[in-house]
Amino acid sequence: MGEVVDGKRESGRAVLGRTLKFLREQAGKSLGQLAEETGYDKSYLSRLESGERLSKVTVMEDLDGYYGAGDLLVRHWQAARFDAFKDQYKEFMELEATARVIRVFTPAVPGLLQTEDFARKVLSGAQTTADGDEAVEEQVAARLGRQYLLRQKPEPDVRIVMDEFALRRPAARAKIWHDQLLHLEAAAMWANMTLHVLPFSAGAHHHMTGSLTLLWQRDGSAVAYKEGNGCSRLIEEPDEVLRQRLSYDRLRDLALSPSDSLAFIRDVLEEHRS
């Protein structure tokens, strides 16, 4: 994910910044010219080149197009985004990015399906300082970057079970929540996405305090990742992964069918509109 410099591994963000600067200089452009021609703020572009900021992936797509660099910057960005996460979560994200089959249970709106504004609201919490706001923006960019895997070819097969609780706690601003519900409605109809709602009527269950993700790779290997109560755990031992899969299957069996889940989301959307 980075080159070795003076015995230390260079961060992905530093490699991306150095590549951005190289492409700009090769093109014979100043930061001012680049800002004028791309529409991005000069100081923002400077901080990307210095490795101080992590952009959204769409910025790298724009700059790849501007420089005619294919997907070079996007590929460097995919490595750089891991700098925003702790080591175990980095390992999970690397596996998630190459998974062919993804199964998720979450008591909240899943990160893979959050809109940008909703993600920002969820991640902002009590942050009020300028530094805090900047940290939130990097986390938002990294979270949206996870969604990039849903667009890669071949597309992974994704099945998500979402607790009804997630649909009963709207974001503070009505428009943010409306847009998030519309996005869930659209996602439920994607060819590679199966979305279930686990209704309150299913009663208590064994994953009420956290989320569970199961990942299968092309070679058939599988891992589980659990989050909850302020801790996380990557599970690789085959017997334990199997136990987590069976627990997931039981939750899926308690959930509404995909068509009924879509109808449920639309009912919530209609209630919100009224």
The verdict on domain 4-82 having CATH code 3.30.360.10 is: no
pTM of the model: 0.70
Q: Mean pLDDT over residues 99-126, rounded?
A: 91
Dig out the tokens for 108 from the structure. Answer: 């909240």
Per-residue pLDDT for 173 more than 90?
A: no
Residue 69's pLDDT band (cuts 50, 70, 90): very high
Average pLDDT, the chain: 87
**Residue type, position 65, single letter:** G
- H, E, C per residue of the chain: CCCEECCEECCHHHHHHHHHHHHHHHCCCCHHHHHHHHCCCHHHHHHHHCCCCCCCHHHHHHHHHHHCCCCHHHHHHHHHHHHHCCHHHHHHHHHHHHCCEEEEEECCCCHHHCCHHHHHHHHHCCCCCHHHHHHHHHHHHHHHHHHHHHHCCCCCEEEEEEEHHHHCCCCCCHHHHHHHHHHHHHHCCCCCEEEEEECHHHCCCCCCCEEEEEEECCCCCEEEEEEECCEEEEECCHHHHHHHHHHHHHHHHHCCCHHHHHHHHHHHHHHHHC
Question: In the CATH hierarchy, which fold is given to the domain comprising 87-110+146-273?
Answer: Endonuclease; Chain A (3.30.870)
Give the dihedral sign, CA 168/205/212/138. Answer: positive
> Residue ranges of the domains in the chain?
4-82, 87-110+146-273
- Among the residue ranges 207-211, 213-217, 262-266, the one predicted with the least confidence is 207-211
